A and B are shown apart, each in its own frame.
Chain A
Amino acid sequence: MKPPPFAYCRPHSLDEALEFLAEHGDEARPLAGGQSLVPMLNHRLARPTVLVDIGAIGDLQRMDRNESGWRIGATVTQRRVERESTEGCDLLRLAMPFIGHRQIRARGTVGGSIAHADPAAELPAVALTLDATMVAAGLDGQREIPAAEFFAGPYMNSLEEGEILSHVTFPTVPPTTRCSFREFARRKGDFAVAGVAATVDFEDGSVTAASLTAFAVGSNPVRLTGAEAAVAGRHLDEAALIDSAEAAAAEIEPWDDIHGSPQYRRQLVAALLRRALQEVAP
């Protein structure tokens, strides 16, 4: 569990970092909090020959609110998001304690987790549920990628070679929007076996909008469009809960591992979604 040899650089500006990446092509990898990449290096599962540590780039450490939501720099730690106010973005706050352990969150970054695109990770699920916007920086400038297009398979994102995920904007929602984050893990802090994120708007007790996401049950987090349709316009009564849970269980394509079969993961998503909807119901 020792990494193969690699070169290491720690630029102080985004441009400098992008130049390193351009110079070394797919031999180079950006290093943020290192909570996924460093274990992969030690297991020799990742073999970049150059690590570009983006931890000293001040612009990537900013976290501020603008008219569209919370704009969070790629190297803002998960722990900082957990501790600081993200008013209007309750789902983000609710999800944070499920990410690893406090020690991991103290180093792990928002951008690192999203770019890593672990199918069982919480932040990609939050990003998808809230329709977050990813900002990719390249030598040619910036481009915005909606969350729905960002995740391209397990541990794969849609960044081009030479691009760095520089910021993520999580839209804020009105105070009336209710949200819930539910995750089932074997132990506190473990990767999810299955999880569900939900934001729901109501008018007169009926659902006017629902954004429901399942994660850890497939290649990437997935919007539960069937379950969303099942609750649209309805009171969240027993029948609606059953319909949405059944729709969710039917529409996901879970994987199989030693912690659960596809069948079990369908059951988990059904149970978690039901509880999430019970929680947000007015």
Chain B
Amino acid sequence: MADTFELGGRPVYTGAHVTRRQDDALLSGQGTYVADLRPGGMAEMAVVRSPIAHGRITAIRTAAAAAVDGVIEVITAADLTDVAPYPNFAAYTQTPGTFPLAQDKVRYAGSPVAVVLAENRYIAEDAAELVEVDYTELPAVTSLEAALEPDSPRLFEDWTNNRLLDLQPDDSEVAAILAGNRVLRRRYKMGRHTAMPMETRAALAEVHNGRLHLWCTNQHAHIARTTLSYVLPLAERDIRVVIPYVGGGFGLKQHLYPEDVLVSWLALRHRRPVRFVEDRAEHMIAAAHARDHMIDIEAAIADDGRILAMRVQVVQDLGSAEIFPGAWCPALTTAAHMTGPYDIRDCVVSVAAVTTNKTPGGSYRGFGVPEAVFALERFIDEIAAEVGVDRLDLRRSMLLQPADLPYTTASGALLDSGSFAESFERVVEMGEDAYRQAGAHYRSDPDSRVGVGYAVLFEGVSPTHHGASAHWMGHESCTIEVQPDGGVRVASGVTDQGQGTTTFVATLTADALGVPIETVRVELADSDATPYGLGAFGSRQAVIGGGAILLAAADVRGKVKKIAAHMLEAPEDDLVIEAGRVHVAGSPVPAVTMAEIATTAVIRTIDLPPGMEPGLEATARYEPELMEHTPDEKGRINANAAYANAAHAAVIRVDLGTGEIEILDYILAHDCGRVINPPIVDGQIWGGIAQGLGGTLYEDLCFNDLGQPQTAFMDYLVPSAVEMPDVVIEHFESPSPNTPLGMKGVGEGGTVGPAAAIGNALAQALAEFSPQIHETPLSPAVVRAMIPDQRT
């Protein structure tokens, strides 16, 4: 691995504090988002959405809306005669047959039923109110427990039940171990929350020379293009997808939503630009929700508390499941992480993903791992309490040690490197110290209790796409071209939602070619300008996109040296490339510049070495060798190219009067292998923790018994700067032997641990009341209910 992927010389930018490329534009308000695009003749779209959670559409009357001055057209599903349903490639699931507009039924409040196209959004919204839809209401399924009931009303009448996915592996081996040992059972649930990016979804479609141009907020230019070609009556060559500045994706923008298809269809039909910018009220009900998991653990326990074997059932509430790609994959990911970084050899997990009359679930940072970590880490604390052993010692007795690596988990994940025990010990040391100080500080406060909680975890990063789509796999692509003036154009299939992708692409390209970073121009997220790649998901871009960059750069570097050797009349192997100049190692002159070499390669080709092809560019594709796309006969799969790890510690104060949890200290030790850009890594961790704390303490998407959403944006409590604790970040670096430069992904580790760490801290703080802590969010009302009312 090290031979194939190298930087080519001493790194100048890799590992250094390189300023993010987009900062100037973003900080001065110059970033251009879809909502900033306003081509001449643009029309805007408003979506008529179902007000009920479950019902049959009996009539739609659009005439009054169509008659409003400024309305161009009102369409329903019946108009989309040349549109195909989204495909489903997963043979192991039932198919929702998702269509951009509701055909005969609505299955969640917010489901798109009709579209008003008008001269502007004001008129479109006025007219949308005039569209009359008659429904016959059906009983709504509003919880995963209800969906599991055999006589539960079915969302899809041609299905046999509400289980889109139902995998029940053979559990006989684990059952035998459970039968012969003490068994502990617990049920854990994680609430429903969502990414809530600052920028909502948006799409603008335009027809140029007979081709569809779609500007959108999707995380994948090429997957979006291909999917549009499956759904629309259009050849893929006639579609261009461009993703301008994006204000956060977090997985929510992985899906190609109905509105992306609808603006495209309307632009093709009316031959004028059509834009949809989702408003925040729509975002609450029509953009993907996430989490909403229930996990049942049964474990055989040794006398000292060690887990001998586990039987786990994971159930994920998919909402109506009308989304593409489908959203069952977090449940599979939960299953793959149920043993944590512990030596638990026997673990069998059954997985069900059920449909309910709620907003479709989708991707969200963490993607099934926070659920697994919350359940397992709470469970370990509960075992320790039950058996009467120290919760830290119990972890120590099971944690993977350096000598255990490489280690293949019961689910098939290959942990090739990591600092599980070391990172844990570091946060314990710091956490216990902070806890002692907090205890001393609040000792005399009768209204306060303090506690410290820990979570230690591994996290699969750089996964195959196959688990989500059963179609795409895991490669990434890169084209590097050196232009005659020595400047470099690098184009890749990776995309930037604000997390700094552009910066790492420039960083690796500059170091791998030996050129100043200022001479590198990065092109991303335009399907016409970049080679086919899979874009942003699963903390994959630096690892897999980085691999493609290094491969392409190695090709270009080889040719640079050959041309330079010819020009300098020196042996190729003696040459080094530094700061855009090539010279013999140890003697900076004579040298040839990248400009001279590139000019030779593409203009004065007469000066090339005899027989050499003109041009100075290369395209490479990289797919990690050890990444598996489909499971073996026992359901085991190494679905990721790498595994990052982290340990979290939270020291909290609980207000006994209000039930409020205050985070006094938050400590995180993380390990993402080789670090490319330290501030970006820190930023990812900060942001991840904010979203993890949000789901743990604040954010909750509630529905009533009729399936009516109860959480408006003003009630959806994204933590702000005031709510964020200070965070101490400890860095560990265990390079993977199997990835380019030893990199692992870093996008999600912060999100994964807070629920478990806070839950465990709360259990300790309120130990005198024996609280039952099995669910998130841990809102003040929930916490207050754990405290008996003897004090006022």
Q: Is A83 an interface residue when CB atoms closer than 8 A count as contact?
A: no
Contacts of A257 in B (CB 8 A): 715
Q: Is B122 an interface residue when CB atoms closer than 8 A count as contact?
A: yes
Q: How far is the CB of A78 from chain B (nearest CB, A)?
A: 18
B 763-792 binary contact with A (CB < 8 Å = 1; else 0) = 000000000000000011100110001001
Contacts of A188 in B (CB 8 A): 720, 722-723
Q: Is B60 an interface residue when CB atoms closer than 8 A count as contact?
A: no
A264 touches B792 (CB 8 A): no
Q: Is A271 an interface residue when CB atoms closer than 8 A count as contact?
A: yes
Q: How far is the CB of A281 from chain B (nearest CB, A)?
A: 16
With known contacts A2-B125, A264-B784, A271–B722 Cβ distance under 8 A? no
Q: Is B20 an interface residue when CB atoms closer than 8 A count as contact?
A: no
Q: How far is the CB of B778 from chain A (nearest CB, A)?
A: 12
With known contacts A188-B720, A259-B715, A267–B279 Cβ distance under 8 A? no
A267 touches B122 (CB 8 A): no
Q: How far is the CB of A216 from chain B (nearest CB, A)?
A: 13
CA distance A272 to B279 in the complex (A): 37
**What count of chain B residues pass the 8 Å CB interface test?**
32
Most buried by A among B659, B660, B719: B659
Contact of B279 among A1, A187, A245, A246 (CB under 8 A): A1
A2 touches B121 (CB 8 A): yes
* Residues from 155 to 175 in A contacting B, C-beta threshold 8 Å: none
B126 touches A5 (CB 8 A): yes
B658 touches A271 (CB 8 A): yes
Contacts of A187 in B (CB 8 A): 698, 717, 719-720, 722-723
Q: Is B187 an interface residue when CB atoms closer than 8 A count as contact?
A: no
A259 touches B714 (CB 8 A): no
> Chain B: which residue is nearest A1 at the CB level?
B279
CA distance A245 to B789 in the complex (A): 12
Contacts of A10 in B (CB 8 A): none
* Residues from 242 to 276 in A contacting B, C-beta threshold 8 Å: 242, 245-246, 249, 257-261, 264, 267-268, 270-272, 274-275
Q: Is B700 an interface residue when CB atoms closer than 8 A count as contact?
A: yes
Most buried by A among B121, B717, B723, B780: B780
Q: How far is the CB of B46 from chain A (nearest CB, A)?
A: 9
Contact of A267 among B121, B126, B789 (CB under 8 A): B789
Q: Is B657 an interface residue when CB atoms closer than 8 A count as contact?
A: yes
A259 touches B781 (CB 8 A): yes
> Chain B: which residue is nearest A260 at the CB level?
B781
B781 touches A43 (CB 8 A): no
With known contacts A268-B658, A271-B658, A249–B781 Cβ distance under 8 A? no
* Residues from 187 to 215 in A contacting B, C-beta threshold 8 Å: 187-191, 193
CA distance A1 to B125 in the complex (A): 8
CA distance A172 to B789 in the complex (A): 37
Contact of A43 among B122, B126, B281, B784 (CB under 8 A): B281
B792 touches A186 (CB 8 A): no
Q: Is B280 an interface residue when CB atoms closer than 8 A count as contact?
A: yes
CA distance A270 to B719 in the complex (A): 27
With known contacts A184-B660, A190-B717, A1–B280 Cβ distance under 8 A? yes
Q: Is A4 an interface residue when CB atoms closer than 8 A count as contact?
A: yes
> Chain A: which residue is nearest B123 at the CB level?
A2
Contacts of B789 in A (CB 8 A): 267
B 701-742 binary contact with A (CB < 8 Å = 1; else 0) = 010000000110011010110110000000000000000000
CA distance A193 to B715 in the complex (A): 11
CA distance A228 to B475 in the complex (A): 71
A258 touches B720 (CB 8 A): no
A267 touches B720 (CB 8 A): no
Q: How far is the CB of A32 from chain B (nearest CB, A)?
A: 20
Contacts of B129 in A (CB 8 A): 4, 44
A258 touches B711 (CB 8 A): yes
Contacts of A44 in B (CB 8 A): 129
Contacts of A270 in B (CB 8 A): 657, 792
CA distance A158 to B61 in the complex (A): 41
Contacts of B710 in A (CB 8 A): 258
CA distance A196 to B122 in the complex (A): 42
Chain B contact residues, majority secondary structure: loop
CA distance A208 to B403 in the complex (A): 74
CA distance A275 to B110 in the complex (A): 44
Q: How far is the CB of A5 from chain B (nearest CB, A)?
A: 7
CA distance A43 to B281 in the complex (A): 8
Contacts of A5 in B (CB 8 A): 122, 126
Contacts of A241 in B (CB 8 A): 792
B657 touches A274 (CB 8 A): yes
Q: How far is the CB of A105 from chain B (nearest CB, A)?
A: 15
CA distance A27 to B544 in the complex (A): 61
CA distance A249 to B657 in the complex (A): 13
B 653-666 binary contact with A (CB < 8 Å = 1; else 0) = 00001111000000
CA distance A264 to B125 in the complex (A): 39
Q: How far is the CB of A254 from chain B (nearest CB, A)?
A: 12
> Chain A: which residue is nearest B712 at the CB level?
A43
With known contacts A186-B780, A258-B715, A264-B784, A274–B281 Cβ distance under 8 A? no
A 93-123 binary contact with B (CB < 8 Å = 1; else 0) = 0000000000000000000000000000000
Q: How far is the CB of B295 from chain A (nearest CB, A)?
A: 24
Q: How far is the CB of A154 from chain B (nearest CB, A)?
A: 16
Q: How far is the CB of A231 from chain B (nearest CB, A)?
A: 14
> Chain A: which residue is nearest B280 at the CB level?
A1
CA distance A78 to B533 in the complex (A): 53
Contacts of B279 in A (CB 8 A): 1
* Residues from 432 to 449 in B contacting A, C-beta threshold 8 Å: 447
* Residues from 1 to 45 in A contacting B, C-beta threshold 8 Å: 1-5, 43-44
B 272-285 binary contact with A (CB < 8 Å = 1; else 0) = 00000001110000
Contacts of B125 in A (CB 8 A): 1-2, 4
Contacts of B121 in A (CB 8 A): 2
With known contacts A2-B121, A187-B722, A259-B779, A274–B792 Cβ distance under 8 A? yes
CA distance A245 to B717 in the complex (A): 29
A242 touches B792 (CB 8 A): yes
B792 touches A245 (CB 8 A): yes
Contacts of A274 in B (CB 8 A): 657, 792
Contact of B658 among A184, A245, A249 (CB under 8 A): A184
Contacts of B780 in A (CB 8 A): 184, 186, 193, 260, 264
With known contacts A188-B722, A258-B700, A259-B715, A271–B792 Cβ distance under 8 A? yes
Most buried by B among A4, A187, A188, A241: A187
B281 touches A261 (CB 8 A): no
With known contacts A187-B722, A188-B723, A271-B792, A261–B781 Cβ distance under 8 A? yes
Q: How far is the CB of B71 from chain A (nearest CB, A)?
A: 14
> Chain B: which residue is nearest A263 at the CB level?
B785
CA distance A268 to B710 in the complex (A): 22
Q: How far is the CB of B690 from chain A (nearest CB, A)?
A: 12
> Chain A: which residue is nearest B704 at the CB level?
A258
> Chain A: which residue is nearest B720 at the CB level?
A187
CA distance A43 to B280 in the complex (A): 10
CA distance A147 to B351 in the complex (A): 59
A249 touches B792 (CB 8 A): yes
Contacts of B280 in A (CB 8 A): 1
With known contacts A246-B792, A271-B792, A264–B785 Cβ distance under 8 A? yes
With known contacts A242-B792, A258-B700, A270-B792, A186–B717 Cβ distance under 8 A? yes
Contacts of A249 in B (CB 8 A): 792
CA distance A275 to B781 in the complex (A): 18
Contacts of B719 in A (CB 8 A): 187
> Chain A: which residue is nearest B782 at the CB level?
A264
> Chain A: which residue is nearest B715 at the CB level?
A258
A-B contact pairs, 11 of them (CB 8 A): A1-B125, A2-B122, A186-B780, A189-B722, A191-B714, A242-B792, A258-B702, A261-B781, A267-B789, A268-B657, A274-B657
Instruction: Give 4 A-B pairs besides A1-B280, A264-B785 with Cβ atoms closer than 8 angstroms.
Output: A1-B125, A242-B792, A257-B715, A274-B792
Instruction: Report which B residues bind A (CB closer than 8 A).
Output: 121-122, 125-126, 129, 279-281, 447, 657-660, 698, 700, 702, 710-711, 714-715, 717, 719-720, 722-723, 779-781, 784-785, 789, 792
